[in-house]
Structure 1
Amino acid sequence: MAITAQDVNKLRQMTGAGMMDCKKALTEANGDFDAAIDILRKKGQKVSASRSDRETKEGVVLSQVNDAQTEGLILSFTCETDFVAKNEGFVELASSILDIAVKNNITDIDALKAAKFENLTVGEKIIEMTGKIGEKLEISALDAIKGEVVVPYIHSTGKLGVLVALANVNGSDVVEAGKDVAMQIAAMNPVALDKDGVDASLVEREIEVGKEQARAEGKPEDMLEKIALGKLNKFYKENTLLSQAFVKDNSKSIAQYLDGVSKGLTVSAFKRVSIG
């Protein structure tokens, strides 16, 4: 059957695919719109498979916090190029995926991909969009956090986000302090909340590095352990959040800054998600 320009435009409006792709799909499907949509989806799957080894170093980081400010979710949705990352359709899809995660209380990427998205699943929708855009797209990170007060922060680039959970909250005037801490985490990228949260293998590595440095400086063997432990304490101070110097006032640690805002105020957890 003859495929009209109106038919092609209708399918384009329904799917967002390119004009030529829509015409080819309709021709192959003999004018059957449902079959043409399936053909376009399969094309998306082929594009997805052909680009499966590509790296996705661009994209957006989005977050949502519930009305009570006690729970937050942060998502990283990535693509291959900055051009696509700034595409309105790409950002809208990322936002819709995050909405689905929040509404269904999903905190696992595989579970999110299996969740319903209109008449598809999220995973199928991503494949469909891959076919339209021609780039690999993926949910790269999905993290949840709970606390007495959860404060979100998205950096101006849109490729870095933080969620901070505050504890021992007395009064409501703590959100600005939470934002200050979130910006600190974005800038300084602490490895843990405090020294107790540092991975044991990282501690061992820092001790060994400290020993080797001291040995290279000609320090006596019986002093190496003590020197290395001193260097480890410096590592904790520079790389764990509560011990870090507050970037807005280096005379205070983050722990001291929060305690000054409200007695006992502290951070119970944080999540930092970055692209690239």
Structure 2
Amino acid sequence: MSISAKDVKELREQTGAGMMDCKKALQEADGDFDKAIEILRKQGQKLSEKRADREANQGLIVTRVSDDGSEAAALEINCETDFVARNEDFQNRAKQFLDIVFENKIQSVDELLEEKLDDLTVADHLKDMVSKIGEKIKIGRIVFANSGGHYISYIHPGNQLGVLVEFEGEVNDEEIGKDVAMQVAAMNPIAVTKDDVDSSVVEQELEIAKEQLLNEGKPEEIAEKAAQGKLRRFYEERVLLQQKFVKDNSLSVEEYLKEQSTPLVKSFHRLQLGEDS
């Protein structure tokens, strides 16, 4: 049947798909808009599958914190190119998905994909984005946090790195909280305190340090003691509260917070594009 340019334009506005794709879908659906949309979505699914092996290591990190600081959420959405990540529609979708995580207290990507946005699941919205944009697009990670502390967020310029820091109590000066969040972004600690470091990591660090010292010819007993010294330096480099504060190296982060009469850090989440944790 003959398909009018007006119908093609209307379908394109509804779906964001290309003009020729819309025209072919309408022809295949005999002018039925609902069927044409379904056809386009199926094409998007095929395109998504076709691009499943492509690298999607660009994208955005977005965060949201409640007005009282008691709840926070973060989301990583990935695409193939920085050009797409800078697209306003892509950025708006990221914020919409983040709002779903925040408002529904979503705890996993799979759970998010099943949630509805404007009568479509998030999974279907992603398929439509793939169909429209022509790149692999996926939700990388999400975080929803409400563990009883006070949350502060920081997004590094470019939205490729985001941090949520939970403090043990209310932070009266948000700039202090931001400073600590920036510390997490810059120094990439693995734990808040040394007690939080996994015992297997501690054992590995001690073993490496001891082996290095023995290889240097140190006696076993001296190597054992010196390895403990190296472990202390490891904690100072990798444990947040023991790290040197980046804005004042004369203080540790813990000393800085105590000096500012600010609650200590309880937990943190650091999301960087392409990292697994």
**Aligned AA (2:270):** R
SS, match of residue 227 in structure 2 = helix
Corresponding position of 2:63: 63
Please name the residue that 1:114 is paired with.
Answer: 114
> Equivalent residue for 2:90?
90
Matches within 5 A, 1:64-79: 64-79=64-79
Cα displacement (A) at 1:255: 0.3
Match of 2:270 in 1: 272
Q: Root-mean-square deviation (CA), in Å?
A: 1.3
Residues of 2 paired with 1:135 and 1:210: CA distance?
46
> What are the within-5 Å matches in structure 2 for residues 1-276 of structure 1?
1-146=1-146, 147-169=148-170, 173-262=172-261, 265-276=263-274
CA deviations on 1:109-155 (whole Å, 9 max, x unpaired) are 11111111211111111112111111111111111223432111100
Q: Secondary structure at the match of 1:151?
A: strand
Kept after mapping to 1: 8 A contact 2:149/2:168: yes
Distance in 2 (CA, whole Å) between partners of 1:114 and 1:270 is 27
Matched position secondary structure for 1:76: strand
Q: CA deviation at 1:79?
A: 0.7
**Cα contact 2:59–2:273 (8 A) shared by 1:** yes
Q: Is the 8 A contact 1:174 1:261 kept in 2?
A: no
Tell me if structure 1 keeps the 8 A contact 2:237–2:243: yes
Q: Is the 8 A contact 1:145 1:270 kept in 2?
A: no
1:55 shift after superposition: 2.1
Paired with 1:116 and 1:141, the residues of 2 have a C-alpha distance of 18
Amino acid at match of 2:159: G
Counterparts of 1:145 and 1:244, CA distance in 2? 24
- Distance in structure 1 (CA, Å) of the matches to 2:48 and 2:35: 20
Aligned-pair distance for 1:90? Answer: 1.1
Distance in 2 separating the partners of 1:145 and 1:194: 19
TM-score using structure 1 length: 0.95
| CA offsets 1:75-118 (integer angstroms, 9 cap, x no match) | 11111111111111211111111111112111211111111121
Provide runs of 4+ in structure 1 moved above 6 Å: none
The structural deviation recorded for 1:222 is: 2.5
Q: In 1, are the aligned partners of 2:102 and 2:144 still within 8 Å (CA)?
A: no
Residues 101, 144 of structure 2: 8 Å contact kept = no
Paired residue secondary structure (1:262): coil
Secondary structure of the residue aligned to 1:150 is: strand
CA drift at 1:183? 0.4
Matches of 1:249 and 1:235, distance apart in 2: 19
Q: Secondary structure at the match of 2:61?
A: strand
Give the match's secondary structure for 1:186: helix
- Aligned counterparts of 2:42 and 2:106: Cα–Cα separation in 1: 27
Structure 2 letter corresponding to 1:85: A
Q: Deviations over 1:182-228 (max 9, x none)?
A: 00000000011011111222112211110121122111123222221
Name the amino acid aligned to 2:176. A
* 5+ residue gaps, structure 1: none
Instruction: Determine the C-alpha separation between the residues in 2 that align with 1:189 and 1:128.
Output: 35
Rounded to whole Å, the distance in 2 between the matches of 1:139 and 1:25 is 27
Q: How many aligned residue pairs are there?
A: 273
The answer as to whether partners of 2:77 and 2:137 remain within 8 angstroms in 1 is yes
Q: Distance in 2 between matches of 1:114 and 1:83?
A: 28
The CA deviation string for residues 230-275 of structure 1, in whole angstroms up to 9 with x for no partner, is: 1111100111000000000000000000011116x20011110000
* Partner-residue secondary structure (3-state), 2:167: strand
Counterpart Cα distance in 1 of 2:226 and 2:9? 72
Superposition TM-score, scaled by structure 2 size:
0.95
What amino acid is aligned across from residue 196 of structure 2 in structure 1? G
